[in-house]
Structure 1
Amino acid sequence: MNERAPIIVEFPLRGEWLSPTTPGTKIPSHGTNRFGTRYAYDFIQVDWERKGNPAYRVSFLHYLIFGVSLKDYYCWGQNVYAPCDGIVVQAEDGYEERARTNLFSDIANAYKNAHYFDPEKDDAQRIAGNYMILKCGENVYAALVHLQKGSVQVTVGQTVKKGDLIGRVGHSGNSFAPHLHFQLMDSSNIATANGLPCAFEKYEVYKNGEWKSVSNGIPTDKDRIRFCPQ
């Protein structure tokens, strides 16, 4: 199919990030077109100096045996910012986060949601957790998903400006580990929306020992990216 030109938005996070799931590497990025995820991104923070670039402070063995407390993930609780000027059309909070990640139960949970979620009768929060949807333009909606419980800073009908603080990175809903899931869609209904391609108007990529500016870019799953607006 012909891919439309990406819509340009501001990067919704600050500091250094990695996108392990990105349309810059494959489309559909999440392996499905369901829930508007065709061009969706996941963003995490990692330790670039440790082998394997883990997203948590404990050892891999500790992760396998005991799981990891949310506070031991680098990105948990990091601020999330509005990627566009817009109007809040949905804002859901209050969904409990599991206190620790656990590889086996998280895989089981993801499998159940992938195969048995019914968008006609099941609550979208089972998939999205705490989330918000912003109307950025005609038939363009931004979804920011899996937010930290109690962190949603906006209400339905509120006008936001690009760069406004709107929430924090969490581990709610269908989430393997704390991360920000971000996507653009053609409607405000996650259950039925089609994904829209998007690129980020400005960020930096670390290559050959230095940071290089990127304009209107789509990061790959290997890119060490940074956004620090002046």
Structure 2
Amino acid sequence: MTATISLEYPFTGRWIAHNSPADRVPSHRTELFATALAIDFLPVDARGRTAPVTLGSLVRPEPPERFTGFGRAVLAPADGVVVAVSGAAFDHPAYRGLPSIRYAATQRNRISSGWKALAGNHVLIDCGGPGGGAIVALCHLRHGSIEVEIGQQLRSGERIGRCGNTGNSTEPHVHIQAMDGPDPRTARPVPMTFKGSLPHNREIVDCR
């Protein structure tokens, strides 16, 4: 396995960690597509909520615009070169409560459709690093928000797009993973830290 790559958080503001490899490996309950060490970050408001909970949100899908972080800037977590961009997916409704159970039942179909169906709109960045380098993927970006192109040199902190709800996503968030090659079908996961550590599930990260 490639040595751990140290990254900056790919955002500003308040976010909550979810599916963290600090608590469980594989973090997303699968080894597919080099996701074993991936982590999700959900944008939250000052009260730690992704969106207000109502009776309606528990029984029917919601527009992603209702969520506090939909459209928040997503930043390059390290210096690197863009090696892949995919931005054709449209944002779909968010699912909480009973709708999330129905959405989970369709997971098999998304897996069978491959990486792009799971990642939605995404950017892959060759970030180099110790032990042979790492490709960092940032996924579920908002439709029409990607601002970079293949071959572009990036500096850490540059905006690459905005938080969305595309691909295998129940509500707006950013999925980030590192891997030892650009093809998630054959790559191996690379461990990550953020500013030298890895947040646990439900831990609030505040990047002001």
Matched-pair identity in %: 31
Distance 2:123 2:194 in 1: 19
Task: Report which structure shows greater RCO (CA 8 Å, sep ≥6).
Answer: 2
Greater shift after overlay, 149-158 or 92-101? 92-101
Distance 1:25 1:158 in 2: 35
Cα RMSD (Å) of the superposition? 2.1
Does the CA-based 8 Å contact 2:28-2:38 persist in structure 1?
Answer: yes
* Structure 1 residue 159, shift from structure 2 partner: 0.9
* Structure 1 residue 69, shift from structure 2 partner: 1.7
Partner residue in 1 for 2:172: 178
Does the CA-based 8 Å contact 2:26-2:37 persist in structure 1?
Answer: yes
Partner residue in 2 for 1:163: 157
Among 43, 64, 68, the residue aligned to 1:70: 64
Normalising by the residue count of structure 1, what TM-score does the alignment of the two structures yield?
A: 0.81
Q: CA 1:184–1:129 in 2, change beyond 3 Å: closer, same or farther?
A: same
Partner residue in 2 for 1:221: 201
Residue aligned with 1:89, SS? strand
Residue aligned with 1:44, SS? strand
* Structure 1 residue 104, shift from structure 2 partner: 4.8
Flag as ranges the 4+ runs of structure 1 deviating above 6 A. Answer: none
- Post-superposition Cα deviations, 1:176-197, rounded to whole Å, max 9, x if no partner, equal 1111000111111122221111
Distance 1:166 1:116 in 2: 25
Partner residue in 2 for 1:23: 21
User: Larger % of strand: which?
Assistant: 1
Does the CA-based 8 Å contact 2:75-2:161 persist in structure 1?
Answer: yes
Matches within 5 A, 1:1-230: 6-47=4-45, 49=47, 53-59=48-54, 61-101=55-95, 103-104=97-98, 106-114=100-108, 117-118=111-112, 122-137=113-128, 138-201=132-195, 216-228=196-208
Distance 2:25 2:46 in 1: 26
Distance 2:110 2:91 in 1: 21
Residue aligned with 2:24, SS? coil
- Post-superposition Cα deviations, 1:45-98, rounded to whole Å, max 9, x if no partner, equal 23464xxx5421342x22112332211111111100001111111001121111
Q: CA 1:125–1:110 in 2, change beyond 3 Å: closer, same or farther?
A: farther
Q: CA 1:222–1:112 in 2, change beyond 3 Å: closer, same or farther?
A: closer
Distance 2:181 2:204 in 1: 31
* Structure 1 residue 110, shift from structure 2 partner: 4.0
* Structure 1 residue 153, shift from structure 2 partner: 0.8
Distance 2:16 2:110 in 1: 30
* Structure 1 residue 111, shift from structure 2 partner: 4.0
Q: CA 1:40–1:81 in 2, change beyond 3 Å: closer, same or farther?
A: same
Does the CA-based 8 Å contact 1:67-1:103 persist in structure 2?
Answer: no
